[in-house]
């Protein structure tokens, strides 16, 4: 399908212009000037509304950052639970206002640190968590009642969440007081991030079980963070990121309704996670369009009555894929512009990437600069003084409409295919993204799109910053801990819990209470996932390129 309506480029340069075509980073053509009459049929009441009111184009709060600035939430995790616990305490000391846990690949894939596929990966890209014992260490000295925690975990999300709840119980916290977010977005795993355990449908069952459990017992928890971030990192355009993310959201709402849950209760706990790439205005337009489309989907399409179900709340992270290993200090400038776009787009929470992330996990110094970047935007620049400062701009409103039109065309296409699961099984989003990513790489090679330090301005200082390395000790320590935990636990209690879990998975009972029992008995992420795999099977992708 056509991604955007592309106007024919002029055959010659317009007088005085340096290029034939002016386009966004996603290749959307941009006019020389926007003015009265742009966008056509502009109706502020219908298209914008008031901030804090339907359709929330101008933001989900009436006073936005005059009330409270966004949550500065830096994603962190590496090595063992104890290493990461130290980093959290460092971040909290320096003014971070929410925790965000990065897990290592074995944990993300639901395998234990001693699994053959985990070789060389333990603690490398995030923290290694095998059992409740690791989770207890991760949050030593951090009262879970007083902090909100985001956990980037998808395929084994129920198991990791159960561990978090079990730690909270041990700290004496009430589950109803806990605040935080699970990513728990399996659709984007199949589309872009590629960390799954079971086929899509059983994964969706686990998600609706978790949603139902939270409705009853952990009502302040955001059960899914529906993520465009990874879709964009996999090479999509801005419009594709928006479209596939919202189509995923529609899929979760449909699944919740199908599972018999009350939409008015579960829908307000769905949140979103977008990328902030380098095309400043396109990103602002994307975030504004996201709120407007979601509000309309929830109110008009699903008929939600509670305005909280109409509000798209978002976390944003600056674009890792835009950063360069060449001249890495330049990344600070990129991150600043991207973070500013996220703020002008009205985000609720923000992660700014560190300058060294193309080389390694961030060092403390790099992470501090990234956090300071947010603090400078919040406290020095004055952009927080007024709500949606760009609202009503001829250009921004035109671009917001264009992004919306492009995304809606995709959403209609996916509806016609019978919904997002069918689309995923047909490799549709995967193929669209692979095409966009190849097209962009060709444009970079042809220097039609510029990356400073890669295809232009490549000379000069290229000194490498200090690099954080995770030594093999982390893997050895983790294997040792895992062996000890297995030796010291009550195996009979675990076996009972796993048998009950399998019975629930075979039938229709909610799996969450049984996962919690298995976790309390110090079952590992791998053991619990394998038990469910016996019932649910596993998944092998047909790769398209």
Partner 1 sequence: MNPERKIRLLVGKVGLDGHDRGAKVIARALRDGGFEVIYTGLHQTPEMVVQTAIQEDVDALCLSILSGAHMTLFPRVIELLRAQQAGDIKILGGGIIPDDDIPRLKEAGVLEIFTPGATLTSIVQFVRDNVPPRHLEETHVQGD
Binding site for partner 1 (CB under 8 A): 105-106, 108-109, 111, 116-121, 124-125, 189, 193-195, 233-235, 321, 324-326, 358-361, 434, 437-438, 441-442, 444-445, 451, 453-455, 464, 467, 470, 540-545
Residue number with CB closer to partner 1 (119 or 426): 119
Residue number with CB closer to partner 1 (190 or 281): 190
What is the rounded distance in angstroms from the CA atom of residue 57 to the CA atom of residue 202? Answer: 35
Q: State the alpha helices, DSSP H only, in 260-358.
A: 263-266, 280-296, 307-310, 330-344
Neighbouring residues of 389: CB distance < 8 A, sequence distance ≥ 6: 344, 383
Residue number with CB closer to partner 1 (124 or 313): 124
Residue number with CB closer to partner 1 (190 or 294): 190
What secondary structure letter does DSSP report for 39? S
Least distance from C-beta 88 to partner 1, angstroms? 21
Q: DSSP 3-state assignment of 180?
A: strand
Retrieve residue 160's tokens.
């990791």
The burial of 40, by beta-carbon neighbours within 10 Å (0-12 exposed, 13-18 middle, 19 or more buried), is given as exposed
What secondary structure letter does DSSP report for 154? -
Residue number with CB closer to partner 1 (125 or 415): 125
What is the rounded distance in angstroms from the CA atom of residue 10 to the CA atom of residue 75? Answer: 45
Least distance from C-beta 231 to partner 1, angstroms? 11
Least distance from C-beta 544 to partner 1, angstroms? 8
If we measure between CA atoms, which residue out of 527, 512, 523, 422 comes closest to residue 207?
Answer: 512
What is the rounded distance in angstroms from the CA atom of residue 440 to the CA atom of residue 26? Answer: 8
Cα–chain-centroid distance for residue 363?
Answer: 22
State the residue for tokens 């301005």: 457
Least distance from C-beta 145 to partner 1, angstroms? 34
Least distance from C-beta 472 to partner 1, angstroms? 9
Least distance from C-beta 118 to partner 1, angstroms? 7
What is the rounded distance in angstroms from the CA atom of residue 242 to the CA atom of residue 82? Answer: 37
Least distance from C-beta 495 to partner 1, angstroms? 27
What is the rounded distance in angstroms from the CA atom of residue 154 to the CA atom of residue 187? Answer: 10
Least distance from C-beta 434 to partner 1, angstroms? 5
Least distance from C-beta 234 to partner 1, angstroms? 5
Least distance from C-beta 541 to partner 1, angstroms? 6
Hey, which residues does 481 pair with through a beta bridge? none
What is the rounded distance in angstroms from the CA atom of residue 157 to the CA atom of residue 206? Answer: 9
Residue number with CB closer to partner 1 (199 or 307): 199
User: Angle at the Cα of 298 (from 294 to 301), degrees rounded to 5?
Assistant: 110
Least distance from C-beta 140 to partner 1, angstroms? 26
Q: What are the E-state strand segments in 37-79? A: 71-76
Residue number with CB closer to partner 1 (16 or 116): 116
Least distance from C-beta 121 to partner 1, angstroms? 5
What is the rounded distance in angstroms from the CA atom of residue 221 to the CA atom of residue 158? Answer: 13
Q: Is the dihedral of CA 46, 48, 50, 52 positive or negative?
A: positive
Least distance from C-beta 109 to partner 1, angstroms? 5
User: Angle at the Cα of 82 (from 79 to 83), degrees rounded to 5?
Assistant: 45
User: Percent helix, strand, coil in the chain (nearest 5)?
Assistant: 50, 10, 40
In 131-159, which positions are buried (b, 16+ CB within 10 angstroms) versus exposed (e)? bbbbbbbbbeebebeebbbbbbbbbbbbb
What secondary structure letter does DSSP report for 127? B
Residue number with CB closer to partner 1 (108 or 298): 108
Q: Phi and psi (nearest 5°) for 377?
A: -60, -40
Residue number with CB closer to partner 1 (326 or 485): 326
Residue number with CB closer to partner 1 (121 or 134): 121
Residue number with CB closer to partner 1 (194 or 308): 194
Residue number with CB closer to partner 1 (438 or 495): 438
Number of H helices and E strands in the chain, helices first, is 21, 9
State the residue for tokens 């995790």: 77
Q: DSSP 3-state assignment of 94?
A: coil
Residue number with CB closer to partner 1 (179 or 194): 194
């Amino acid at each position: 399908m056509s991604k955007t309506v592309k106007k024919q480029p002029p055959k010659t340069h317009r007088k005085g212009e340096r290029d034939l075509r002016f386009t966004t980073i996603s290749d959307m053509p941009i006019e020389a000037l926007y003015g009265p009459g742009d966008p056509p049929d502009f109706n502020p009441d219908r298209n914008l509304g008031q901030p804090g009111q339907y359709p929330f184009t101008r933001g989900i709060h009436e006073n936005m950052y005059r009330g409270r600035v966004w949550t500065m939430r830096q994603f962190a995790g590496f090595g063992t639970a104890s290493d990461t616990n130290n980093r959290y305490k460092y971040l909290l000391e320096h003014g971070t206002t929410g925790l965000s846990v990065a897990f290592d690949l074995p944990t993300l894939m639901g395998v234990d640190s001693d699994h053959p596929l985990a070789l060389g990966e333990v603690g490398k890209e995030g923290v290694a968590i095998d059992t409740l014992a690791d989770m207890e260490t991760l949050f030593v000295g951090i009262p879970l009642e007083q902090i909100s925690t985001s956990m980037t975990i998808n395929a084994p999300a129920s198991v990791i969440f159960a561990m978090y709840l079990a730690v909270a119980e041990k700290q004496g916290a009430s589950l109803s007081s806990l605040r935080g977010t699970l990513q728990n977005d399996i659709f984007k795993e199949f589309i872009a991030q590629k960390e799954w355990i079971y086929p899509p449908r059983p994964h969706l069952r686990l998600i609706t079980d978790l949603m139902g459990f939270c409705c009853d017992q952990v009502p302040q928890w955001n059960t899914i963070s529906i993520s465009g971030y990874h879709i964009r990192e996999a090479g999509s355009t801005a419009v594709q990121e928006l479209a596939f993310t919202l189509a995923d959201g529609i899929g979760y709402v449909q699944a919740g309704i199908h599972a018999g849950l009350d939409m008015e209760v579960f829908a307000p706990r769905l949140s979103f996670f977008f990328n902030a790439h380098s095309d400043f205005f396109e990103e602002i337009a994307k975030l504004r369009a996201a709120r407007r489309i979601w509000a309309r989907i929830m109110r008009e399409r699903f008929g939600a009555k509670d305005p909280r179900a109409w509000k798209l709340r978002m976390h944003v992270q600056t674009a890792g894929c835009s950063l360069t290993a060449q001249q890495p200090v330049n990344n600070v400038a990129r991150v600043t512009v991207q973070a500013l776009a996220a703020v002008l787009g009205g985000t609720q929470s923000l992660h700014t990437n560190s300058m060294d992330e193309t080389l390694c996990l961030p060092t403390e110094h790099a992470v501090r600069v990234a956090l300071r970047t947010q603090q400078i935007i919040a406290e020095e620049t004055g952009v927080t003084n007024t709500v949606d400062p760009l609202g009503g701009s001829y250009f921004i409103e035109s671009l917001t409409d264009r992004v919306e039109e492009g995304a809606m065309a995709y959403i209609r296409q996916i509806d016609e295919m019978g919904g997002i699961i069918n689309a995923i099984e047909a490799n549709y989003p995967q193929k669209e993204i692979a095409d966009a990513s190849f097209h962009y790489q060709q444009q970079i090679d042809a220097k039609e799109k510029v990356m400073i330090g890669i295809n232009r301005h490549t000379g000069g200082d290229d000194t490498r910053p200090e690099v954080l390395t995770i030594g093999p000790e982390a893997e050895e320590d983790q294997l040792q801990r895992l062996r000890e935990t297995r030796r010291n636990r009550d195996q009979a209690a675990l076996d009972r819990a796993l048998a009950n879990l399998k019975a629930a998975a075979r039938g229709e009972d909610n799996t969450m209470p049984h996962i919690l029992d298995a976790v309390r008995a110090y079952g590992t992420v791998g053991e619990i996932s394998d038990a469910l795999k016996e019932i649910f099977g596993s998944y092998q992708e047909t790769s398209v390129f």
